[in-house]
Amino acid sequence: MTEVRATVDGVVPAPAGPHHDRPEGPDRTTVRDSEVRVRELLDRMTVEEKIAQLVGFWEKEDGETVAPLQGEFGAATRLEEFSRHGLGHLTRVYGTRPVDPVTRAAWLWKFQSDLVTQTRLGIPAIVHEECLTGLSAWQAATFPTPLAWGAAFDPDLVAEMAATIGTSMRALGVHQGLAPVLDVIRDPRWGRVEECISEDPYLVGTIGTAYIRGLQSGGVHATLKHFVGYSASRAGRNFAPVHAGPREVADVLLPPFEMALLDGGARAVMHSYAEIDGVPVAADPAMLTGVLRDRWGFDGVVVADYFGVAFLTLLHHVADDHTEAAVQALTAGVDIELPTGDAYLTLPEAVRRGRVDEALLDRAVLRVLRQKRDLGLLDATFTEDPPRQIDLDSPEHRAIARRLAERSIVLVTNRDALPLSPGRPMAVIGPNADQPSALFGCYSFVNHVLPQHPDVATGIEVPTVLDAVRAEFDAELVSWARGCDVDDDDRSGFAQAVAVARAAKVAVLVVGDRAGLFGRGTVGEGCDTDDLELPGVQRDLVEAVLATGTPVVLVLLTGRPYAIGWALERCAAVVQAFFPGEEGAAAIAGVLSGRVNPSGRLPVSLPRSAGAQPYSYLHPALGEGDEVTNLSVTPPAPFGHGLSYTTFAYSELTVPTTVPSDGALVVTVRVTNTGPVAGDEVVQLYGHDLVASVTRPVAQLLGYRRVRLEPGETATVELTVPTTRLAFSDRTLTRVVEPGDVEVWVGTSAQRLAQGRTALVGQTVPVTVAAERWTTSEIS
């Protein structure tokens, strides 16, 4: 190869520090003048005008339920009355119901212009939208879900996707996106797993930071969700208490947020709904001020998760009314209440009665005004014309969606069944084969909003898997049967499924999840499970088709990993696709035909069973438990696993004998494509700290790099690992790097294709926020 390129797992890091990711800023005089302007604006404000900057307005109608306990909150007053003193945020202008984007943009420009000309201070509102898998709006492109980003191990491509999302949003007058989700997966039973990237905090941090850089390059501020602990809820139940210890919080749950803020420059953070050891995060100054601001130097805004401030009263019962909830949240560090002002609108009276210091209001308002300044809103007049036409699902959007979908699909097992030979009768069976919505996650517009508007068209072109297979192969040779639905117990379609399977040379079974909200799906927000078997009678359908003797290729369209060890043993091939988006069906069909060589890797372990949860590959020696219990938790397929239609060989692994404990470990390895076709290998480097002052994981991802190789081609991959990648919280909860022996290998979390050993030498080294956090890589 001739390429020599230095990256940080595909993303070149900017210098550390909370401001680094912004464009090169103005000189100090300009900054000082702009700060003077912001403070002068604050000094002119009445208490009511200050509060107006700290709340949002959500124009919603009865029956539009897209947030937890939304029905508990009454309808707001008219927007014009609500915003008479100004307005902090407009909530989901495009994403609450299907609206024509050009028509809605004209309305938005008029409203913003009215804020400028008809309120005393003339400050426009920040417009925020959901954007986890693309702008969540009608007619907008819908990309693969974050679990698919993790499977792709491709930060550059995720950044490219996010940049197109940000550009589209800013063109519509949107300023802030409520993404990415940086919760580390701790239990696959949790319904929001499909919104998460991985069970590995480093993979979450690198991919999430790439998304942030991409989105913010388009002029839209990213919002980190959900800070912190949300994914560690007991038994994987949404909103359940979190009993993570301080070491787990520090070493597993916080690092992605630290990377996203210090290295990604994210400008907003959303608190989580969680309570950690009895303290709700929304009312916890130790987290929202101590960690975010005092330790990490974050100077952006903290926004409430929807209704999260009021939940201090309604759900957590740590406040006796909304005013007390508002005082606690504001004191802790929540600057803006979203989606509306149910609690913060009570603060004017609280200020007058002395229940809250007005200085706390001023602190939050200054942060909001600085954000509006940075977004250009303090000088915006909205006298320019709104967009007269805009393509939210352009060929560029779809090309990126297709590439990401193709790189995210994981070939879990293959007994020489794939790729499929052309010209043979094929049966396509299963409830997800002909459902466009089966390609999307919970926070896609298709699944988040459109179910409440059944008469409205999807708004984007979404070929189904059945459509794509018919287009990829000879349509006349493809037969079809649904067999069953995703989550009921109706077996009446089994007979037809068995019949078409018997008449075919191969049966492609497309099964899995239906994403939805609050019990309306098998996965998604409020759609948790206590059973990791396939939903409904889908396993029975697969068993019935297996009994025909026709080879079965199982395609899983899911938002979480399921306990499919039985399928790995009995199916001819198993393909895992985590909600791959609008181009996902074509990507799946391409994998089946061989047009696409699969290169996805599992970003989360396939579970042994529901009873084996919670499980993480980042477990200490006793976490496996095989020698001390009769219950195995070993996953049928481990983190990092994924097959290809070619083969790769590793050789000449070099690992230094010793490394200073405050230095960097430089590892090189040669990778050769020894198979017949071109393919991508994801080089994964793992480590194991053999003896430490606290128990350490038996495997830990230290770095990774995706490499494209032609048949017979060899590349040398060099990974430079700062020793801080092996840091942890010691017995005093000080984050340190300790000297000692470390095993190092390339492969997966459970498979060592080449291995070595090094020793960290020197003193125990405390780790500060100034320390390097990223593994860099070069290919030659």
**What share of the chain in percent tops pLDDT 90?**
91
DSSP state of 475: G
- Which structure tokens are listed for 393? 């699902």
Structure tokens at 566: 């039985």
- The distance from CA 472 to its chain's CA centroid, rounded to whole angstroms, is 31
Distance of CA 98 to the CA centre of its chain: 24
Cα 141 off chain centre by: 17
Reported as a pLDDT band with limits 50, 70 and 90, residue 631 is confident
DSSP 575: E
- Amino acid identity of residue 776, one-letter, is T
Q: How far apart are CA 380 and CA 393, in angstroms?
A: 28
**Is 215 within 8 Å of 177 (Cβ atoms)?**
yes
Q: Check pLDDT > 80 for residue 10.
A: no
pLDDT at site 74: 55
State yes or no: pLDDT of 26 exceeds 60: no
Cα→Cα distances 344→304, 358, 361, 466, Å: 11, 13, 10, 50
Contacts of 14 (CB under 8 A, 6+ apart): 20, 21, 263, 265
Q: pTM for the whole thing?
A: 0.95
**How many angstroms separate the Cα of 396 from the Cα of each of 42, 143, 161, 387?**
43, 12, 10, 19
**Whole-angstrom distance, CA of residue 327 vs CA of residue 189:** 35
Question: What ranges make up the beta strands (E) of 230-319?
Answer: 268-271, 275-276, 279-280, 301-303
pLDDT of residue 321 exceeding 80, the answer is yes
Beta bridge partners of 478: 426
> Which residues lie across from 427 on neighbouring strands?
479, 507
Q: Is 607 helix (H, G, I), strand (E, B) or coil?
A: coil
Q: Alpha-carbon torsion 55, 58, 63, 64, what sign?
A: negative
The average confidence (pLDDT) of the chain is 94
Average pLDDT of the residues in 632-641:
94
Q: Residue 183: enclosing H or E segment and its boundaries?
A: none
Contacts of 32 (CB under 8 A, 6+ apart): none
Chain center to CA of 762: 38
pLDDT at 1 over 50: no
| Least-confidence region, from 48-62, 336-350, 449-463, 704-718 | 48-62
Say which residues have a Cβ less than 8 Å from residue 270's Cβ, sequence separation at least 6.
178, 223, 224, 225, 226, 227, 302, 303, 304, 305
Strands (E), 523-673: 552-558, 573-578, 648-654, 658-660, 664-673
Two tokens, residue 617: 């590959």
- Report the distance separating Cα 270 and Cα 304, nearest Å: 6
What SS3 class is residue 752?
strand
Place of tokens 């009263």: 313
Mean pLDDT of 433-451: 97
338 has pLDDT over 70? yes
Question: Per mean pLDDT, which range of 252-261, 262-271, 550-559, 604-613 is the poorest?
Answer: 604-613
- SS3 of 2, please? coil
Give yes or no for a contact between 448 and 396, defined as CB atoms under 8 angstroms apart.
Answer: no
Residue 306, token pair as written in the block: 């929807």
Whether pLDDT at 433 is above 90: yes
How deeply is 381 buried, as exposed, middle or buried, from its count of CB atoms within 10 A (0-12, 13-18, 19+)? exposed
Q: Which of 317, 291, 156 is nearest to 227 (CA)?
A: 291
pLDDT digits (tens, 9 = 90+) for 694-728: 999 999 999 999 999 999 999 999 999 999 999 99
Given this model, what pLDDT does residue 61 score?
73
For residue 331, the 8-state DSSP code is: H
- Does residue 294 have a pLDDT over 90? yes
Supply the pLDDT for residue 655.
98
Q: Assess whether pLDDT exceeds 50 at residue 416.
A: yes
pLDDT in tens, 234-284: 999 999 999 999 999 999 999 999 999 999 999 999 999 999 999 999 999
Higher pLDDT, 13 or 466: 466
Structure token pair of residue 301: 């805004």
322-332 vs 358-374: helix axis angle to the nearest 10? 60
Q: Give 3-state DSSP helix, strand, coil % of the chain, rounded to 5.
A: 35, 20, 45
User: What does DSSP assign to residue 18?
Assistant: T
CA distance 155 to 8: 9
CB 5 within 8 A of CB 779: yes
Tell me which H or E stretch contains 91.
strand 89-91
In whole angstroms, give the CA distance from residue 526 to residue 529.
10
With contact defined as beta carbons under 8 Å apart, do 659 and 702 qualify? no
Number of Cβ within 10 Å of residue 42's Cβ equals: 17
CA dihedral 22, 23, 24, 29 (to 10 degrees): -70
pLDDT band at 63 (very low <50, low <70, confident <90, very high): low
pLDDT of 24 > 50? The answer is no
Beta-carbon count within 10 A of 32 CB: 11
| Alpha carbon 131 to its chain's center | 10
- Please compute the mean of the pLDDT values over residues 418-445 and round it to a whole number: 98
